[in-house]
Amino acid sequence: MKAAIFAYSSQGMETARRVRQGLSGMQTYCFAPQRLADGDFEGIPKPSQSFYGEWFSRAEVLIFVGSCGIAVRQIAPHVHSKTSDPAVLCLDELGQFVIPLLSGHIGGANALARELSEKLGATAVITTATDINSRFSVDAWATERGFSISSMQAAKAVSAAILEGDVPLKSDFPIAGKLPSGVISGARGKVGIFLTYGTEEPFDTTLRLLPKVLHLGIGCRKGVPAQTIEDVVTQVLRQHHIDRCSIVRVASIDRKAQEPGLLEFCEKNHWQAVFYTAQELSQVGGTVSSSSFVESVVGVDNVCERAALMEADKLIVNKTARDGVTVALALKSMEVQFG
């Protein structure tokens, strides 16, 4: 993760150095006006709009050590969306206050402000309504856990509803411990949250939170193009009302490790591709469909179901064969915690 730190005075540069020490695990870049730039600070070029725009796109975190006005003016031309904008924070020159300005929840600016305030002995100035009212911040919670958010409009509706009362939550997964403030168990309501890997929307306005829990097993004929695999997988997902955002990886037999269509399909969807030997697949437990023909060709009676189950717990979609492609889906068990 990259963080860019901007300071505008000698005192600000000292505070910036303290901030950099507090950003554990981040790759940091420090900048100051040309007249102040030294060994650990690069100069800010003039004109500077494109410079700030580049870092707005390049870094996950931008930290301004100076007035909020400076920060706002520099980022204003580049602000686009809360789902893609970096976390932007502002500190005063003395490091007394840490203020998240942008992407407090999804970008993690609020959490980083609290972390830095503890390390610097500063005060975090949090202004988002759910945080200051000690209510559940659904987008922050989902982002921290790597869950996909089905709709930012629905997330906004949930956050607004939580400020006025309790919002029902339905879950396809077991929940450990207490629900957070502002959330109650339920499957009906005007606005609600659904923890799921599916596409069902039980509430009038449903925010689906989608964990990465599905393993997609694929077998395919030699030379099958990526688009054919894509079409078959899309049909299977639609038929079983499954959201592709919950897929974490694609698995197959090692004989397909260099199959161009399969690799292109995985790359296009940004899914990790893993491959197993026939011997490894044959050791998978559970009930799977069996084909003596497949076994005679590749050395194991079923590729897609066994591959899907390799690091998962149960099949939720059995082998489906179309157009030279076989598809199966398996679920990795998980427990939801709100701590």
Residues 148-162 pLDDT 10s = 999 999 999 999 999
Contact 313, 330 (CB under 8 A): yes
Domain range for 235? 214-331
* Shared domain check, 191 and 244: no
* Shared domain check, 92 and 78: yes
Among 120, 297, 142, 292, smallest CA distance to 210 is for 142
For 271-327, what is each residue's pLDDT tens digit? 999 999 999 999 887 778 877 878 777 778 899 999 999 999 999 999 999 999 999
Cα 103 to Cα 126: distance, rounded to the nearest angstrom: 12
* Shared domain check, 241 and 179: no
CATH assignment of the domain containing 15: 3.40.50.11220
Among 229, 164, 155, 232, smallest CA distance to 194 is for 155
| Domain-ending residue, one of 92, 127, 162 | 127
* Shared domain check, 188 and 237: no
Among 98, 99, 107, 100, smallest CA distance to 80 is for 107
Q: Is the pLDDT score of 234 beyond 80?
A: yes
Into how many domains does the chain fold?
3
The pLDDT assigned to 295 comes to 72
* Shared domain check, 220 and 201: no
* Shared domain check, 195 and 254: no
* Shared domain check, 27 and 94: yes
* Shared domain check, 307 and 229: yes
Domain presence at residue 339: no
* Shared domain check, 271 and 324: yes
Average pLDDT of span 228-233: 98
* Shared domain check, 164 and 197: yes
Domain presence at residue 137: no
Domain presence at residue 135: no
* Shared domain check, 233 and 116: no
* Shared domain check, 225 and 189: no
